[in-house]
Amino acid sequence: QETVYAIASGKGGVGKTTTTVNLGTALAQAGERVAIVDADLGMANLAGFVSLSPGSATLHDVLSGEASIEDATYRLAANIVGVPSGNELADYAETEPDGLGEVVETLRDRVDYVLIDVGAGVSHESILPLGLADAVVLVATPEPAAVQDVSRTIELVDRVDGEVAGLLVTRTHPSGDVPPETIAEKLGVAELGAIPEDRAVRASVYAGTPLVVHAPESDAAVAYRELATTLTGVE
Ligand code: ADP
Ligand code: MG
């Protein structure tokens, strides 16, 4: 039951990359084979979250026909590989996003879960992965505008005949926010969970280590492991 999830949002800076890295690492820690793919082609930064300095090939090179998928697949830890993107604007200019479908299908055959970190916005490369995935994990922070942002992303998922897995609300505070279940209910989608605002997240980004490794007992790490279970049933 190989499964491909796209991690998507209307806005940037809501925790998509953090979610891709930590959901992926939590699944790997539970014994699943995982590939995480940086498909945020214009603002790629997944590599830094896992201290990966792609020696040579990146997803950009694969998409521009200059490297194979193998060349751009790097082992991150036990059970988990990463496919980084280049972070030079020049890489981006050469890229043909349509090749992403083949990349995803190749990885699907090799691992149990493929997680695609999708760029924000409404460009072709942000919409394409929504249809390549088996299901889309919608990510939003608990602001009043979240409902509108996410509903636009749901519309894009529909447009490419994709499926919504549900909503993950990130950076929640104990009080004062719109409750995640209220946002999910307004949108008519399942609530996948809430990741609390947690200083350990930033510390893990600075350390270049996934939070679930860097601070496994932190509140946000516990919440990411719960997300892994809610989404996939893996314990
Ligand atoms: P996106 O990929 O959607 O642009 P990121 O995953 O890069 O978002 O997260 C943006 C910033 O927010 C990062 O610097 C990260 O440290 C911070 N962040 C994300 N989730 C949390 C959280 N639960 N608690 C505190 N900071 C967070
Ligand atoms: Mg990101």
Query: In this structure, are residues 134 and 5 in contact, taking their beta carbons and an 8 Å threshold?
Result: yes
Q: Whose CA is nearest to atom 14 of ligand 1?
A: 202
Answer yes or no: are the C-beta atoms of 25 and 210 closer than 8 Å.
yes
What are the distances in angstroms from CA 163 to CA 130, 177, 229? 8, 27, 19
Cα(15) to ligand 2 centroid in Å equals: 7
- Which residues is 195 bridged to in the sheet? 170
**Given ligand 1 and candidates 7, 11, 18, which is best to mutate, with the most ligand atoms within 8 Å of its CB?**
18
Averaged pLDDT, 135-142: 96
Which has the closest alpha carbon to 100: 138, 122, 133? 133
Q: CA 58 to CA 70: how far, in whole Å?
A: 10
The model carries a pTM of 0.97
Q: Is the CB of 194 under 6 A from ligand 1?
A: no
ipTM, two decimals, is 0.99
Per-residue model confidence (pLDDT) at position 176: 74
Q: What is the pLDDT of residue 20?
A: 98
Does the beta carbon of 16 lie inside 6 Å of ligand 1? Answer: yes
Ligand 1: centre distance to CA 14 (Å): 6
In the predicted model, is pLDDT for residue 3 greater than 90?
Answer: yes
Return the ligand 1 atom nearest residue 198 CA.
24
The answer, yes or no, to whether any atom of ligand 1 lies below 6 A from the CB of 170, is yes
pLDDT bin (cut points 50, 70, 90) of residue 1 is low
- What is the count of structural domains for the chain? 1
**CB distance 205 to ligand 1 below 6 Å:** yes
Q: What is the pLDDT of residues 46-100, one digit of tens each?
A: 999 999 986 789 999 999 999 999 999 999 999 999 999 988 877 777 788 899 9
Distance CA 205, CA 218 (A): 14
Domain extent, residue 103, equals 3-232
Give per-residue pLDDT as tens, 109-127: 999 999 999 999 899 999 9
**3-state DSSP: the chain helix, strand, coil percent, rounded to 5?**
40, 20, 40
DSSP string, 78-130: TTEEEE----SHHHHHT--GGGHHHHHHHHHTT-SEEEEEEPSSSSHHHHHHH
Contacts of 199 (CB under 8 A, 6+ apart): none
Residue 202 Cα: closest atom of ligand 1: 16
Residue 154 has pLDDT above 80, yes or no: yes
Q: How many CB atoms lie within 10 A of CB 179?
A: 14
Provide the percentage of residues in the chain whose pLDDT is more than 70: 99
Pocket test for ligand 1, best of 201, 204, 222 (most atoms within 8 A of CB): 201
pLDDT surpassing 90 at residue 14: yes
CATH code (residue 34): 3.40.50.300
